[in-house]
A = this chain, B = another copy of it.
Amino acid sequence: MAYRISSMKRKVTLKEIARELDVSVSTVSKALRNSKEISQDTIDKVQAFAKLYNYRPNNIAISLKNRRSKNIGVIVPELSHMFFTQVISGIENIANANAYNVIICVSNESFQKEVINMEMLANGSIDGFIIAISKETQLKRDFHHLREVINQGMPLVMFDRVSEEIYCDKVVVDDAQAAYNAVRYLISTGCSRIALLSTPDHVSVGKLRTLGYMNALQDAGIEFNENLVVKANSDEECEEGVRKMLKYRVVDGIFAVNEIFAVIAMREAQRKQFRIPDDISFIGFTDGNISKYANPPLTTVVQHGYDIGQHAAMKLIAKLEEQEPDDHFTTEVIKTSLNLRESTKSLTK
């Protein structure tokens, strides 16, 4: 297809415009930026030519010159969780409004991939990081890669899964408080035998949500019963745990630390002919599609991922644009709320 090849307008550079118009590269550059150093005649000529040939400055060259890329790197453990995609949307919103581009990388919950991704991005491709660390990283407690980029003077904002060991800006939800509120809500609708579906303790959010659960019980004068706690590593463990619990224990409310465990439990309850919410009420963490389209639709703790993303991006950009680096870091706590749907009863007057 010689036609296509010959019709190809290869990307035009300043140098080519300069040669074609018989002026210097500097003149072209200035003319394009409407410098008052350049005569109106020349400006018009250059801009017309640039437009004709669809000139676009090369981002890479500009990044090199300015020593900043106007890119923000985002690293998330996975994309399949609605929460993370909401955070990404929030980040994009603020970033784009400030002329920043967002580069997303996925660690896949792997420490190794997290390190690789960070190293790849840290060498000039981005100006700062927004990251939620992987489960594996939380388990290993190895944060050298985070320390390294911070030491290089690159701003970093952590969200959701954070570490107190790292000194940087953070945006989190108050997991303990959110869980507390959810369980209190169950209690206020008349539940008293409330089960907890959780993950192993090394996942920071699992631990905190468990804490909130226990506090809520205590404040309501309900005794903690460890037979009503299921800790699961997988869907299957969760299903099995719930099955046994429903068989041997009386339960009238279930609080799950994520939406998947919640719908698994609902399914199990429905198999056993429990009515939802009349016999058992359910609340899950994370307001995603799974909850929204569950039957009945699941009441959830909404973490406002979009807001979290916005705040994280605002913090990062503030750090990026400040003149003299300051070493003052803050942790922002985003309030959660309950999205009441049909898996819970109404408040009893």
Binding site for B on A (CB under 8 A): 1, 4-5, 7-11, 54, 56-61, 63-64, 69, 78-80, 82, 85, 88-89, 92, 96, 101-106, 108, 116, 119-125, 148, 151-153, 167, 260, 263-264, 266-267, 270, 289-290, 293-295, 325, 327
Contacts and interface: CB of A to CB of B under 8 A. Distances in A.
20 contacts: A1-B327, A5-B325, A8-B153, A9-B151, A54-B148, A60-B60, A60-B123, A60-B125, A61-B124, A79-B85, A80-B82, A80-B85, A89-B106, A92-B106, A104-B104, A260-B293, A263-B295, A266-B295, A270-B295, A294-B295
A9 B149 CA distance: 10
A148 to B, nearest CB: 7
Contact of A290 (B57, B92, B289): B289
A295 to B, nearest CB: 5
Contact of A63 (B11, B60, B106, B289): B60
Contacts of A1: 327
A348 to B, nearest CB: 25
A153 B64 contact: no
Contact of A5 (B11, B152, B260, B327): B327
Given A64-B60, A266-B295, A293-B294, A120 B101 contact: yes
B59 A123 contact: yes
Select the residue from A69, A78, A293 with max chain B CB neighbours within 10 A.
A293
Given A54-B148, A267-B295, 14 more contacts: A4-B167, A8-B151, A56-B119, A58-B123, A60-B123, A61-B124, A78-B85, A79-B88, A88-B106, A102-B105, A260-B289, A263-B295, A266-B295, A294-B295
